[in-house]
Amino acid sequence: MSNDQNESKIAVLIPCYNEEITIGKVIEDFRQELPTAEIYVFDNNSSDRSAEIAREKQAIVIKETRQGKGYVIASMFKKIDADLYIMVDGDDTYPAESVHELIQPILDDEADMAVGSRLSKYKKKAFKPLNLFGNRLIVTLVNWIFDSRLTDIMSGYRAFNRDFVKNIPLISKGFEVETQLVIQSLHYQYRIVEIDIELRKRPPGSESKLNTFSDGFKVILTILNIAKAYRPLFFFGMSGLLIFLLGLGLGAIPIIEFIETGLISHFPTAILATGLVLVSTILFAVGFILDTINFRIKEIIQIMRKQT
């Protein structure tokens, strides 16, 4: 273990919901890799022996009664005080031996958040085909909207410094919280580093809590809501552009008719086209105003961060 690790107070944070098959091994693996770290298991109303097993393994168990991973992570960030934080799912799919590579950019002050990227290296059957497609679709969408070059935004294996944990705002309730962490990091200009890890498939008897369709829909909805809030010029600009093009297409009908005949018989179409163009202009204006306000708020937050 490096001197930096010995000098830093390290907390391993494990969100847990019905992981009695794997939680003990996850605790043991991380205690072997980081013997001086405090290991916290946040039990989210498990109905099995997860909490009992975690206590038997000398982990600190904290109960979070609000159901949802977003609530769990918000509680972790609020209640635990450390210099360096590692968050890992309790399903034994993430390799504990990769933790040293994951935390090194934090210790070297090269990143505020390090993400264990799963999509370049993973064991056979670690991903269901539909889940893999959904992950790549969401990454592509986030990279397009937020002008980034990330490879995995939904990983449950991450490391953070204290500044990030104590200042990042969290409002998501469920699994979409991991997407929110990345998007808010991009918005508030925190430094993100990705470390390739090899994702393992779940052990026999262990089942994923993810619902491919409902959770995927929630993630996409979260991206759109955050884009509206943090990239308003992009969001309202794209909406305005689509409506403008629709209005332009409809408006071409009476214009062509007038050029050819000198008359306009498609009055409803002309009125609708005019209305759509006006709406698109309003959307562009709203996006511009909100983007200006966001810029000023970001400046204020950066000043506050420097002062603290």
Beta carbons within 8 Å of 129's beta carbon, 6+ residues apart = none
Q: What is the CA radius of gyration of the chain?
A: 24
172 φ, ψ to 5°? -75, 150
- 3-230, superfamily in CATH? Spore Coat Polysaccharide Biosynthesis Protein SpsA; Chain A (3.90.550.10)
Distance of CA 207 to the CA centre of its chain: 22
- Residue ranges of domains in the chain: 3-230, 232-307
For 188-219, give the DSSP string. Answer: TT--EEEEE--BPPPPTT------HHHHHHHH
pLDDT of residue 288: 93
Kindly state the tokens that stand for 51.
Answer: 């909490």
Q: How many residues does the chain have?
A: 308
The yes-or-no verdict on residue 126 having pLDDT over 60 is: no
Overall average pLDDT of the 115-141 stretch:
75
Q: Which of 5-9, 77-81, 151-155, 222-226 has the highest mean pLDDT?
A: 77-81
Kindly state the tokens that stand for 57.
Answer: 């393994």
Please give the torsion angle defined by the CA atoms of residues 153, 157, 161 and 165, in that order, rounded to the nearest 10 degrees. Answer: 70
pLDDT-derived band at 290 (thresholds 50, 70, 90) equals very high
Distance CA 224, CA 299 (A): 23
pLDDT of residue 130: 66
Distance of CA 48 to the CA centre of its chain: 28
Name which residue leads in pLDDT, 205 or 59. 59
pLDDT-derived band at 137 (thresholds 50, 70, 90) equals confident
pLDDT of residue 142: 87
pLDDT-derived band at 22 (thresholds 50, 70, 90) equals very high
Kindly state the tokens that stand for 78.
Answer: 């609020």
For 205-266, give the DSSP string. Answer: T------HHHHHHHHHHHHHHHHHHH-HHHHHHHHHHHHHHHHHHHHHHHHHHHHHHS----
pLDDT of residue 149: 93
Q: Name residue, tokens 């469920």.
A: 174
pLDDT of residue 4: 61
Nearest to 45 by CA among 25, 75, 78: 75
pLDDT of residue 127: 58
121 φ, ψ to 5°? -135, 120
Specify which residues 43 forms β-bridges with.
16, 63
pLDDT of residue 281: 96
pLDDT of residue 62: 98
pLDDT of residue 1: 53
For 57-85, give the DSSP string. Answer: TTPEEEE--S-SHHHHHHHHHHH---SEE
Question: What confidence tens digit (pLDDT) does each residue in 150-180 have?
Answer: 999 889 999 999 999 999 988 777 778 888 8
pLDDT of residue 121: 67
pLDDT of residue 206: 66
Please say whether the beta carbons of 161 and 191 come within 8 A: no
pLDDT of residue 296: 84
Instruction: For the chain, count helices (H), then strands (E).
Output: 11, 7
pLDDT of residue 132: 73
pLDDT of residue 46: 96
Q: What is the mean pLDDT of the chain?
A: 88
Overall average pLDDT of the 248-266 stretch:
89
Distance CA 235, CA 25 (A): 44
pLDDT of residue 226: 75
Q: What is the pTM of this model?
A: 0.77
pLDDT-derived band at 246 (thresholds 50, 70, 90) equals very high
pLDDT of residue 145: 85
